[in-house]
A = this chain, B = another copy of it.
Amino acid sequence: MLSATPSGPNCKNPTLVTANDFFFSGLNLPSNTSNILGAGFTPVGINQVPGLNTLGISVARVDLTPNGAFPPHIHPRATEIVTVLEGSLQVGFVTSNPANKHFTKTLQKGDVFVTPIGLVHYAYNVGKGNTAALVAWNSHDFGGVTLLPKAIFGANPDISSDYLARTFFLDKKIVEELQAKF
């Protein structure tokens, strides 16, 4: 969807707005986890619910198969609050430089965890069954998301492998193999 103005998509004509513009159905159903990371995601943001435009909140259902993982990522414009619906879930975030302090918890059903805006965080299903959780962000489209492995090793076009090798202390050959995987 194209943002036509600096403050977001144009508004719908108010006389045409209905209750359906504030409604979404289906978060009781598991998200599709048929991918290499075993991680499913059903977003409920401005693209699904037009009435959220400018309102500064969105939710999503996330599902993880056993050993499923969301890669380390950042929401540059939103704080995240996750509530586990079923299964168990290791979550954590890392504070900014120079502390790089790692806060982590293994959550069970009914547990809640907060990740402050802009920090590297992750989620990993360390249990034996599937995990489902409801996540909320204070942005109308979860504030964008930067998946770090992909942004770093899967950028398009590639970031220089010399540079990545130098700053990740990896062999250039390993960097190039990584880039080929993304």
Contact = CB atoms under 8 A, between A and B. Distances in A.
Contacts of A174: 170, 174
A155 B19 CA distance: 14
Interface residues of A, number: 108
Contacts of A110: 25-29
Interface string A46-66: 000101111111110000000
A11 B112 CA distance: 21
A74 B121 CA distance: 13
Contact of A97 (B85, B114, B144): B144
Interface of A: 2-11, 13-14, 17-19, 22-29, 37, 44, 49, 51-59, 67, 69-74, 76-77, 79-81, 83, 85, 90, 92-94, 96-97, 99-105, 108-120, 122, 124, 134, 136-138, 144-160, 163-164, 166-170, 174, 178, 181
